[in-house]
A and B are shown apart, each in its own frame.
Chain A
Amino acid sequence: EVVLTQSPATLSLSPGERATLSCRASQSVGSCLGWYQRKPGQAPRLLIYTASERATGIPARFSGSGSGTDFTLTISSLEPEDVAVYYCQQCSSWRTFGQGTKLEIK
Chain B
Amino acid sequence: QVQLQESGPGLVKPSQTLSLTCIVSGDSISSGNNYWSWIRQPAGKELEWIGRIYTSGSTDYNPSLKSRVTMSVDSSENQFSLRLSSVTAADTALYYCAAGPNPYYFDYWGQGTLVTASS
Contact = CB atoms under 8 A, between A and B. Distances in A.
Interface of A: 1, 32, 34, 36, 42-46, 49, 55-56, 87, 89, 91, 94-100
A43 B49 contact: no
A44 B104 contact: no
A34 B112 contact: no
Contact of B46 (A55, A56, A94, A97): A97
B119 interface: no
Contact of A97 (B49, B107, B110): B49
Given A46-B107, A87-B47, A89-B106, 17 more contacts: A1-B64, A34-B105, A43-B112, A44-B47, A44-B106, A45-B109, A46-B100, A49-B102, A55-B107, A91-B105, A94-B49, A95-B49, A95-B104, A97-B48, A97-B49, A99-B45, A99-B46
Nearest to B112: A43
11 contacts: A32-B104, A43-B110, A44-B109, A49-B102, A55-B107, A89-B105, A91-B104, A94-B62, A95-B49, A96-B49, A97-B47
A46 B112 CA distance: 16
Interface in B78-119: 96, 100, 102, 104-107, 109-112
B63 interface: yes
B93 to A, nearest CB: 13
Chain A interface SS verdict (over half): loop
Contacts of A55: 107
B104 A49 contact: yes
Contacts of A56: 107
A32 B62 CA distance: 17
A42 to B, nearest CB: 8
A43 B104 contact: no
Contacts of A96: 46, 48-49
A43 B48 contact: no
Contacts of A99: 45-46
Give the residue among A56, A87, A89 with the most B Cβ atoms within 10 A: A89
Nearest to B41: A97
